[in-house]
């Protein structure tokens, strides 16, 4: 965490940044519907920190403590790690190492949206607005799954 605070130049504004990210929908997590590339930054083993940075790193670890935190490579991933872990606690290390958390979380949110909108009755009986939202969610989900499959990382009911 210390390396991320130091090298990512994180300051007290990280708290506001994380609050703003928590309110985003799947479309906002993937601008242009393209998964962001995962940074190749590697955290230093023993970062030297100022006292202020050390206290910030300790506060971040306390607030965001979860197993995915060690795979966070930028401020966004740090902020999204708790939500991702809460929704999908069984992701493998290679997935967490190769795919940005925004794409992983967007995929889980889209899957949840499709499950929520899935008709409990025949398509013909759906209201027009619900049918349109469901079709749009399915399209977004299919595009994202195709992009992640191209990266060699896909999981889910048929891909675990």
How far apart are the C-alpha atoms of 43 and 20, rounded to whole Å?
Answer: 25
pLDDT band at 93 (very low <50, low <70, confident <90, very high): very high
Local structure of residue 124 (DSSP, 8 states): G
Q: What is the CA radius of gyration of the chain?
A: 18
pLDDT band at 118 (very low <50, low <70, confident <90, very high): confident
How far apart are the C-alpha atoms of 127 and 48, rounded to whole Å?
Answer: 59
For the entire predicted model, the pTM comes to: 0.76
Residues 25-41: tens digit of each pLDDT: 666 776 556 667 787 76
């Amino acid at each position: 965490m210390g390396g991320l605070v130091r090298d990512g130049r994180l300051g007290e504004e990280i708290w506001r940044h994380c609050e703003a990210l928590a309110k985003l929908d799947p479309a906002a997590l993937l601008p242009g519907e393209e998964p962001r590339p995962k940074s190749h930054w590697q955290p230093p083993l023993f970062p030297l920190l100022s006292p202020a940075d050390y206290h910030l790193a300790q506060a971040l670890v306390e607030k965001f403590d979860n197993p995915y935190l060690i795979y966070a490579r930028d401020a966004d991933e740090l902020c999204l790690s708790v939500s991702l872990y809460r929704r999908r606690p069984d992701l493998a290390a290679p997935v967490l190492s190769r795919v940005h958390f925004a794409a992983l979380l967007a995929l889980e949110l889209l899957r949840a949206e499709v499950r929520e909108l899935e008709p409990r009755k025949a398509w013909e009986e759906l209201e027009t607005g619900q049918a349109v939202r469901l079709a749009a969610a399915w399209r977004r989900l299919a595009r994202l799954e195709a992009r992640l499959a191209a990266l060699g990382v896909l999981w889910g009911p048929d891909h675990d």
